[in-house]
Amino acid sequence: MFLALTGISFALKQRTWERSKLATTLDHVVVATDDEKIAECCRGFGADVVMTSESCRNGTERCNEALQNLEKKYDIVVNIQGDEPLIEPEIIDGVVKALQAAPDAVFSTAVTSLKPEDAFDPNRVKCVVDNRGYAIYFSRGLIPYNKSGKVNPKFPYLLHLGIQSYDSEFLKIYPQLPPTPLQLEEDLEQLKVLENGYKMKVIKVDHDAHGVDTPEDVAKIESLMLERNLS
């Protein structure tokens, strides 16, 4: 298994890479990017880098291209976005193990509890799952949405985390699938998986999510890391 890391600022990218290296299920950790400045920086802190083309439309396609550029073959590929510098290695391992334990799934991911203040933030992607732990839908809007139009404080809403694990054979198929209506409308790459009838396993984790979706989030993350004495 290997991990393709895509994302944002150099310091946060390094932090994400360092956290990813602690996952016990990963055999190889690489940074996949189409930006030579990012590549040079990542090589500077010791990361292996795989250059990909600018034509990749999302992280999933970038992972596939990175996989094809590696000599060694892997059965599972994990995509951790560079905007998750506080990601826990246990979550990475959990996502990998969930996919290994679900032979009918081609994709796995993680969710955590959604904070009420993030309910209507389109940058915080929400998720609903069935009673077997498979994804039903992802949305930038609040799901489920009740008749009152307000957040129900008693409902366990779920927030999608920036980590995906793929079966490597499916990863080759993904770029060949045409864009789907829901994927395009929500601008969420994982919806193409569901719209084409593939199964996606979801694990629920206890994680105080602090992803970076806007420039303002960078300052928040850096301040939080300073408070926690994290380099």
pLDDT of residue 15: 85
pLDDT of the residue at 11: 73
Is residue 108 within 8 A of residue 102, CB to CB? The reply is yes
Give yes or no for residue 223 having a pLDDT over 80.
Answer: no
Task: Calculate the CA dihedral of residues 144, 147, 149, 151 and round it to 10 degrees.
Answer: -50
Q: What is the mean pLDDT of residues 125-149?
A: 97
Distance between CA atoms of 199 and 88, rounded to whole angstroms? Answer: 25
In this predicted structure, the answer to whether residue 220 has a pLDDT above a threshold of 90 is: no
Homologous superfamily of the 2-227 domain (CATH)? Spore Coat Polysaccharide Biosynthesis Protein SpsA; Chain A (3.90.550.10)
Asked whether residue 103 carries a pLDDT value surpassing 70, the answer given is yes
Gap between the Cα atoms of 12 and 105, Å rounded: 31
- 83 in Cβ contact with 8 (< 8 Å): yes
| Between 130 and 80, residue with greater pLDDT | 130
Position with higher pLDDT, 116 vs 231: 116
Quote the Cα angle for 122-114-150, to 5°: 70
Region 45-50: what's the mean pLDDT? 92
- pLDDT average, residue stretch 121-127: 96
Contact by Cβ (8 Å): 160, 140 = no
Mean pLDDT of 149-177: 95
Residue 181 pLDDT: 98
Q: What is the mean pLDDT of residues 51-74?
A: 90
Domain residue extents for the chain? 2-227
**pLDDT at 3 (0 to 100):** 57
Asked whether the predicted pLDDT for residue 127 surpasses 90, the reply is yes
Name the least confident of 20-34, 54-68, 204-218.
204-218
Which pLDDT does position 154 carry in this prediction? 96
Which pLDDT score, from 0 to 100, does residue 221 have? 62
Identify the three-state secondary structure at position 128: strand
Q: Kindly report the pTM of this predicted structure.
A: 0.86
Of 53, 92, 48, nearest to 72 by C-alpha is: 48
Q: Does residue 43 register a pLDDT over 60? A: yes
Per-residue model confidence (pLDDT) at position 22? 95
Mean pLDDT confidence for 117-138: 97
Q: Which two tokens stand for residue 169?
A: 């054979």
Structure tokens at 190: 């994982």
First CA to last CA across the chain, in angstroms?
27
Percentage, residues of the chain above pLDDT 70:
86
Q: What is the pLDDT of residue 129?
A: 98
